[in-house]
Amino acid sequence: MKIFMLSNLGKNPYNELLIKHLIKGGAKVESEDDHQGIIFLPQVIKNGSHQILHLHKLHYFFLGKTGNSKLFLYRDEIWRPFKFLIFEIQILMLKLTGTKVVCTIHEWEDKIEQGKQSIPPNFLPKLGRLFDALIVHCDTTKQQLLKAFGSDVLNKVFVVEHGNYISSYPNSISRDSARKTLGIKDENLTFLLFGNIFRSKGFLEAIDNFKKLNQDNLFLIVAGYPAESGIENLIRGKIQGCENILFVPQKVPDQEIQVYMNASDCVILPYKIFTTSGVTLLAMSFGKACIAPNSGYFSDLLDKQGAFLYNPAQDDGLLHVMKEAIEKQDILVDMGQHNFKLAQKWNWDYVAQKTLEVYKNV
């Protein structure tokens, strides 16, 4: 089976691991990992036809980032129908050659521009007809797609779990060494906020709630690239004078991820808008207890044996479970080991096999 994988994920381990294990499973895979723009047909056909075109993400094909332009002709909503038409023509041309089109939905809701970059509802019926299969990472997202696209796509939506990151990153540093590296005392219960920083990820609210705890022997690490304008300064303002908060505003190198994970006791995932979360699988792969909203992907993935789940509609829900984590800090290691065992089930041989089954069904 010959597959062309097209994404803008870059050198994300997700892409690399999926391709590696698809090849291991007998597939021939070509890929473009950092595709930009709306034209993709030349890249797909340059080395001959493929049985499968597998897309990761959709928004960058026909949505843009110019919706706030004051000049009418430069507004993104004016150009979206034309971009979509170009996308549609390319897909139809490939389908005429016998290529089947599969898309993995990593992000569904627009988490950056308050919905301005969500896929317009009038595009959905055509998308549903264009795709031969849609892959999602949990049952909740499947239900969201069925609601958005309609029941006509019921037989096209497949759940393939997000693979784990066990052994994908170096993991040799001890807890003590990691804490010495970061200057964290051994007795401190340490929370971690990790990954690219957006307002929609709830980092600002998590920092506010951490400050409300006002207890000795607590520490918070905030490590990740500030991916949204102004958010780094907002965080710096919030943590000014807080000696028990470490802010590392940068993309964490692969070899250093272990330092932050192993220095922490519990990873906080206070997301407000989400479809999936690779950071959750990363935390589980490092054997960490988690704090997350009891909704969507998180409630499908995590359970009470490994996570403190809160009601996102409750004003003090996050604060309540942070206090619960402090009260139950003696079992955080056991909770982390439970999460590690869960993550082991979603190895990449398993994920690749389920993906190959989707290909064979279209």
Same domain, 355 and 320: no
What confidence category does residue 342 fall into, taking pLDDT thresholds of 50, 70 and 90? Answer: very high
Mean pLDDT throughout 16-31? 95
Mean pLDDT throughout 191-209? 97
What CATH number is attached to the domain comprising 183? 3.40.50.2000
**Structural domain tally of the chain?**
2
What confidence category does residue 245 fall into, taking pLDDT thresholds of 50, 70 and 90? Answer: very high
Which pLDDT score is estimated for 118?
A: 67
Same domain, 113 and 193: no
Q: Report the Cα 38 to chain-centroid distance in Å.
A: 22
Same domain, 42 and 182: no
Q: Is the pLDDT of residue 70 over 60?
A: no
- Classify residue 188: in a domain, yes or no: yes
Higher pLDDT, 150 or 235: 235
Q: What is the mean pLDDT of the chain?
A: 91
Q: Is the pLDDT of residue 322 over 70?
A: yes
How many whole angstroms separate alpha carbon 53 and alpha carbon 95? 10
Domain that includes residue 357, residue range: 2-163+347-361
What confidence category does residue 74 fall into, taking pLDDT thresholds of 50, 70 and 90? Answer: very low
Same domain, 159 and 232: no
Convert the pLDDT of each residue in 88-116 to its tens digit: 999 999 999 999 999 999 887 655 555 55
Residue of 262, 264, 267 lying closest to 278 (CA atoms):
267
Which pLDDT score is estimated for 83?
A: 87
Same domain, 138 and 235: no
What confidence category does residue 71 fall into, taking pLDDT thresholds of 50, 70 and 90? Answer: very low
Same domain, 182 and 102: no
- Classify residue 304: in a domain, yes or no: yes
Q: Which two tokens stand for residue 191?
A: 């929370």
- Classify residue 298: in a domain, yes or no: yes
Q: Is the pLDDT of residue 37 over 90?
A: no
Same domain, 183 and 325: yes
How many whole angstroms separate alpha carbon 287 and alpha carbon 261? 9
- Classify residue 74: in a domain, yes or no: yes
Which pLDDT score is estimated for 72?
A: 42
Of all residues in the chain, the percent with pLDDT exceeding 90 is: 74
Which pLDDT score is estimated for 116?
A: 53
For residue 159, what are the CA distances in angstroms to 137, 145, 156, 356? 5, 11, 10, 13
Task: Check if the beta carbon of residue 102 is closer than 8 Å to that of residue 188.
Answer: no
Of all residues in the chain, the percent with pLDDT exceeding 70 is: 92
Which pLDDT score is estimated for 86?
A: 92
Please provide residue 50's backbone torsions phi and psi, each rounded to the nearest 5 degrees: -125, 150
Own/partner pairs, 225-234, CB within 8 angstroms, 24+ separation: 225/196, 225/197, 225/249, 225/250, 225/251, 226/197, 227/196, 227/197, 227/198, 228/112, 228/197, 228/198, 228/199, 231/197, 231/198, 231/199, 231/203, 231/204, 232/197, 234/204
Please provide the DSSP assignment of 64-88 as one string. -S-TT-SSGGG-HHHHHHHHHHHHH
Same domain, 340 and 353: no
Convert the pLDDT of each residue in 134-165 to its tens digit: 999 999 999 988 988 888 888 999 999 999 99
Same domain, 155 and 234: no
Question: What SS3 state is found at 310?
Answer: strand
Which pLDDT score is estimated for 149?
A: 85
Residues 6+ apart with CB under 8 A from 331: none
What confidence category does residue 348 fall into, taking pLDDT thresholds of 50, 70 and 90? Answer: very high
Which pLDDT score is estimated for 77?
A: 67
- Classify residue 118: in a domain, yes or no: yes
Same domain, 250 and 125: no
- Classify residue 170: in a domain, yes or no: no
Q: What is the DSSP letter of 119?
A: P
Task: Check if the beta carbon of residue 290 is closer than 8 Å to that of residue 266.
Answer: yes
Q: Which two tokens stand for residue 114?
A: 């308050």
Which pLDDT score is estimated for 38?
A: 85
Same domain, 131 and 13: yes
Same domain, 49 and 25: yes
- Classify residue 272: in a domain, yes or no: yes
- Classify residue 168: in a domain, yes or no: no
